[in-house]
């Protein structure tokens, strides 16, 4: 079983949890996390970390590679896909926060 919790209005943790027969794996801030915990049924906890300079490091690397190769478009993500993603996110924020969402901090 998998449980994903994402809060935008509440000051609550954003956590991805995978439940298994022998315990669970918990990943805080899963979209940019560099750590995870393995919590076994006997109560022991094993921590894992993988340093990452930025949650945008893959995007930054892709842009740098495009610039170095003199390219204007990525083969990994089309401009249309980018605009579709932006529209989905903007629509969600408008539904969650109303028309004044750009001014919410």
User: Domain containing 83: what range?
Assistant: 2-97
Phi and psi angles of residue 4, each rounded to the nearest 5 degrees, phi first: -120, 130
**Does residue 102 belong to any structural domain of this protein?**
no
Which of 50, 6, 45, 5 has its CA nearest to residue 24? Answer: 45
**Does residue 83 belong to any structural domain of this protein?**
yes
What pLDDT, on the 0 to 100 scale, is given for residue 10? 67
Domain count within the chain:
1
What pLDDT, on the 0 to 100 scale, is given for residue 6? 59
The CATH number covering residue 39 comes to 3.30.360.10
pLDDT digits over 25-72, tens only?
999 887 778 899 999 999 999 999 988 776 677 778 888 999 999 998
**Confidence (pTM):** 0.51
**What are the E-state strand segments in the chain?**
2-5, 15-20, 23-28, 35-40, 45-49
**Does residue 56 belong to any structural domain of this protein?**
yes
Q: Taking 70 as the threshold, does the pLDDT of residue 1 lie above it?
A: no
Q: How confident is the model at residue 9 (pLDDT cuts 50, 70, 90)?
A: low
**Does residue 37 belong to any structural domain of this protein?**
yes
pLDDT digits over 61-104, tens only?
888 999 999 998 888 888 888 889 889 888 888 888 777 766 76
**Does residue 104 belong to any structural domain of this protein?**
no
**Does residue 103 belong to any structural domain of this protein?**
no
């Amino acid at each position: 079983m998998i449980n994903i919790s994402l809060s935008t209005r509440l000051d609550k943790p954003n956590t991805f949890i995978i439940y298994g027969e022998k315990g669970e794996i918990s990943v805080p801030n899963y979209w940019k996390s560099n750590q995870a915990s393995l919590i076994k049924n006997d109560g022991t906890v094993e921590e894992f970390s993988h340093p990452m300079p930025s949650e945008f490091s893959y995007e930054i690397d892709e842009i740098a590679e495009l610039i170095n190769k003199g390219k204007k478009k990525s083969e990994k993500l089309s401009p249309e896909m980018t605009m579709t993603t932006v529209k989905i996110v903007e629509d969600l924020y408008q539904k969650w926060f109303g028309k004044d969402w750009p001014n919410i901090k």
